[in-house]
């Protein structure tokens, strides 16, 4: 200390022991002790539950310029600090201003940890927000769920929601939910459901390729599939068009092309071939009440030896060539609807069930029709009806009466 080197080895760093040559005991006593700036611990001590190793301590120090390699500070208050790099186990701050960012120690962009940048951008792995979230824009790559979502425009790959309130519903302007860019009747693929609040106009459209379904409150609606077109006023299926009072072929030109059938029964055809039965005449024949009793006993059942025969004039004239029964293009049907029987033990007649009669078609050639200057031979169609006795009836029945026959004449091609 005084520039004098001792020759006595002291085991110091240079193998020498330095001495001031004076007694410094008074100086040490003046700087240490209660109320003094320094405290010297000759051995480790525990004070207020804190362990202190042996050494020299100061309770208050003011250093103009200090360079410290390693420091252990229990409680530090700094008015203004410039620190190039700092690692702390816990940091509590009332206000923290960052020039670049703050991040977790395990932060890896796009995969782990979190980071908040000074410009306000951030990357987080998962967020739970208890209050409201306000954003001018955003992109969700996963699923967005909510009990109620209010928004002017929402674009999402998947959206599960209990309620969607459309802007304009009940107010002015259109409110709608739609696929991206779709609008009514624009010809593009997609879908839209819309209501305009101030006018009440409501419409919907779904379109995919050549397939389209649409509807509106102004009755512009329909279904269009390949080969099928149904609108509010007509329907077209294949080559057939269905209108409000008719059905027709497509194309159809009155008097030349196609066919048309009206709701009132009128029709127009270019050519007709009917391959099924066609009713040309029908009627009811009423008898005067004659009884037939030409029956004979045959193996316990009553049958007819000469069936009751009736000939009916249909009133229908055929202009075709003469025909016989085998080649006649007509068929007939007859049912006896008024049939009564008389039994030997009964006191009066009783009705049989309806009896199917045998009906044959005949042609009367002696019928003529007079024209303007000629007499044209015609064929009046007659029906020969035979009423057989029902088999296996009560053996006491000996008479049957035919009162009414319903008949029909059919043309067959």
Q: Buried (b) or exposed (e) across 311-342, using 16+ Cβ within 10 A?
A: ebebeebbeeeeeeeeebebebbbbbbbbbbb
> Which residues are 116's β-sheet partners?
102, 122
Distance between first and last Cα of the chain: 146
Alpha helices in 335-407 (DSSP H): none
| pLDDT tens-digit map of 192-212 | 988 877 777 899 999 999 999
* Segment among 53-57, 183-187, 269-273, 370-374 with least mean pLDDT: 370-374
pLDDT band for position 164 (cuts 50, 70, 90): low
User: Per-residue pLDDT averaged across 257-278, rounded?
Assistant: 78
pLDDT computed for residue 210 by the predictor: 93
Per DSSP, the residues of 272-303 read ----S-EEEEEEEEE----EE--EEEETTEEE
pLDDT(142) > 50: yes
Give yes or no for a contact between 383 and 314, defined as CB atoms under 8 angstroms apart.
Answer: yes
pLDDT computed for residue 348 by the predictor: 58
pLDDT computed for residue 114 by the predictor: 92
> Alpha-carbon distance 274 to 267, whole Å?
15
Higher pLDDT, 99 or 190: 190
pLDDT computed for residue 109 by the predictor: 92
pLDDT computed for residue 314 by the predictor: 85
Q: Which two tokens stand for residue 271?
A: 């050519």
Give yes or no for a contact between 293 and 398, defined as CB atoms under 8 angstroms apart.
Answer: yes
> Alpha-carbon distance 243 to 263, whole Å?
10
pLDDT(306) > 60: no
Residue 257 neighbours by CB under 8 Å, 6+ apart: 251, 270
pLDDT(85) > 70: yes
DSSP class of 28: H
CA distances from 81 to 5, 65, 86, 135, 254 (A): 42, 14, 11, 36, 101
pLDDT computed for residue 321 by the predictor: 47
| pLDDT tens-digit map of 218-234 | 989 999 998 888 888 87
Q: Give φ, ψ of 48 to 5 degrees.
A: 55, 40
Residue 36 neighbours by CB under 8 Å, 6+ apart: 30
Q: Give φ, ψ of 25 to 5 degrees.
A: -60, -40
Percent of the chain whose predicted confidence (pLDDT) is above 90: 10
Higher pLDDT, 84 or 365: 84
Q: Give φ, ψ of 30 to 5 degrees.
A: -75, -25
> Alpha-carbon distance 313 to 171, whole Å?
77
Give the residue among 359, 346, 352, 335 at the shortest CA–CA distance from 392.
Answer: 352
User: Per-residue pLDDT averaged across 165-175, rounded?
Assistant: 60
How high is the mean pLDDT of the chain? 74
Q: What is the pTM of this model?
A: 0.35
Give the residue among 215, 168, 164, 155 at the shortest CA–CA distance from 195.
Answer: 168
């Amino acid at each position: 200390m005084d520039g004098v080197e001792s020759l006595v080895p002291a085991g110091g760093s240079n193998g020498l022991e330095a001495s001031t040559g004076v007694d410094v005991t008074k100086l040490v006593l003046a700087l240490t002790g209660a109320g003094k700036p320094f405290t010297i611990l000759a051995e480790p001590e525990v004070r207020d539950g804190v362990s202190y190793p042996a050494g020299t301590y100061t309770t208050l120090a003011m250093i103009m310029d200090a360079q410290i390699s390693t420091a252990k500070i229990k409680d530090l208050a700094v008015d203004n600090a410039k620190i190039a790099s700092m690692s702390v186990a816990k940091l509590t701050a009332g206000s923290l201003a960052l020039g670049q960012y703050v991040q977790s120690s395990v932060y890896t962009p796009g995969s782990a940890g979190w980071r908040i940048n000074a410009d306000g951008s951030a990357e987080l792995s998962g967020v739970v927000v208890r209050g409201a979230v306000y954003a001018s824009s955003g992109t969700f790559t996963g699923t967005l769920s909510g009990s109620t979502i209010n928004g002017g425009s929402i674009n999402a790959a998947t959206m599960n929601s209990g309620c969607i309130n459309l802007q304009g519903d009940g107010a002015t302007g259109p409110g709608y939910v739609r696929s991206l860019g779709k609008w009514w009747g624009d010809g593009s693929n997609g879908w839209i459901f819309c209501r305009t609040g101030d006018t009440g106009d409501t419409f919907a459209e779904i379109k995919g390729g050549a397939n389209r379904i649409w509807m509106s409150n102004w009755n512009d609606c329909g279904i269009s599939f390949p080969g099928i077109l149904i609108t509010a006023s007509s329907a077209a299926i294949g080559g057939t068009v269905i209108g409000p009072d008719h059905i027709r072929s497509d194309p159809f030109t009155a008097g030349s092309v196609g066919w048309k059938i009206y709701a009132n029964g009128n029709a127009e055809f270019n050519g007709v071939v009917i391959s099924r039965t066609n009713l040309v005449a029908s009627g009811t024949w009423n008898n005067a009440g004659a009884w037939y009793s030409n029956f004979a006993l045959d193996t316990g059942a009553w049958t007819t030896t000469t069936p009751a025969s009736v000939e009916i004039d249909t009133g229908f004239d055929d202009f075709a060539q003469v025909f016989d029964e085998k080649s006649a293009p007509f068929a007939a049907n007859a049912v006896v609807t008024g049939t009564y029987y008389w039994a030997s033990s009964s006191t009066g007649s009783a009705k049989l069930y309806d009896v199917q009669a045998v009906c044959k078609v005949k042609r009367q050639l002696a019928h003529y029709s007079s024209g303007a200057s000629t007499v044209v031979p015609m064929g009046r169609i007659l029906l020969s009806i035979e009423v057989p006795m029902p088999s296996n009836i009560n053996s006491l029945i000996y008479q049957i009466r035919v009162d009414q026959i319903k008949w029909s004449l059919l043309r067959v091609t």
